[in-house]
Amino acid sequence: MPARMKLSSVYSTLPPAERKVADYILAYPDEAAHMVINEIARKADVSVPSVTRLARKLGYNGFMDFRVSLASGSSSVVSSSTLPIRSDDSDEQLINKLMIGHIAAIESTLRVLDAPKLSRLTNIIMQANRIVWFGLGASMKLASIYSEQLCRLGLDSVICCERPIMHNYAKCLQHGDIAIAISRTGKTQRTLDALRTAKEAGATTVFITNLVNSSGENHADYFICTSRQDELYRICGYETSTSMCALFETLMTLIVKKKGFENKSQFLETIAYNR
């Protein structure tokens, strides 16, 4: 996974000093990819150990490994002149930066997306006895859209977003069922607990998140990490769903393709038949 995507993913969990390092690197990735550790520490106004701690938190052995990864993924649609968003930006500049940021989030997700794994997942979904979506809040707004689409395709798909029953519902799953858990932050405990319970019950588990090092990966047969638009999170404090929506649209299109629908008329006829 590209270093910048990892940085964006863990940004909200970083302590102040490490966040200052992340701010500098995300704003000037091309320059940072060619700096020594002392230079980055000076530019970010932090100590050298803060830079080292950040690199290790991202899973690198040290700063040099981190810098190599940063250099290999520094080419992007987003340039240092485009981000970050500033308080004196005009509306036109703000719109441009945000839209380019959303494009970059999808681009980052595509770089690390395992296409064969996604293809296998669509096969499993199509053969599942039932598909149950777990999550809370805004994550369930996404789930409700795509669960309904699966139902229209003739699949047994439901959402479970009530806090008191998520655990009990997950316990009822078994081999042949699929549990799809969504947590954009990767830290929603109820969702993580439901995912773990579904795994223990024998269901195939899927976890979709924006957090690269979420503990949910430990309980997922299919772990998929999408990239968020970090600037919007930094300013407004909430996760974006751009790349996650793109992922689900891709997943649904693959299922439709494998179902053999060649046109809208045939698709609608199948829906009517399944009803």
pLDDT at 213: 78
Give a yes or no: residue 177 inside a domain: yes
| Region for 186 from its dihedrals, namely left if φ exceeds 0, alpha if ψ lies in -120 to 50, beta otherwise | left
Host domain of residue 30: 1-75
Same domain, 36 and 123: no
pLDDT at 236: 56
Q: Which residues of the chain have pLDDT under 70?
A: 1-2, 9, 12, 72-84, 229-240, 262-264, 266-275
Same domain, 59 and 121: no
Same domain, 146 and 38: no
Cβ atoms 201, 172 nearer than 8 A = yes
pLDDT at 231: 54
Same domain, 41 and 155: no
In whole angstroms, how far apart are CA 13 and each of 82, 123, 214, 257?
24, 35, 11, 39
Same domain, 55 and 119: no
pLDDT at 81: 39
Q: CA-to-CA distance for 200 and 193, rounded, in angstroms?
A: 11
Same domain, 69 and 127: no
Same domain, 121 and 209: yes
Domain count, the chain: 2
CATH of the domain at 121: 3.40.50.10490
Residues near 95 by beta carbon (within 8 Å), at least 6 away in sequence: none
pLDDT at 150: 92
Give a yes or no: residue 213 inside a domain: yes
CATH of the domain at 41: 1.10.10.10
Give a yes or no: residue 120 inside a domain: yes
Is-above-0.85 flag for pTM?
Answer: no
Give a yes or no: residue 24 inside a domain: yes
Give a yes or no: residue 260 inside a domain: yes
pLDDT at 82: 47
Give a yes or no: residue 178 inside a domain: yes
Same domain, 46 and 132: no
Cβ atoms 73, 4 nearer than 8 A = yes
Same domain, 119 and 70: no
Same domain, 144 and 195: yes
User: What is residue 50's three-state secondary structure?
Assistant: helix
Give a yes or no: residue 13 inside a domain: yes
Give a yes or no: residue 262 inside a domain: yes
Q: Which residues are registered as beta bridge partners of 182? A: 208
Q: Which residues are registered as beta bridge partners of 58? A: none
Nearest of 147, 122, 166, 137 to residue 241 by alpha carbon = 137
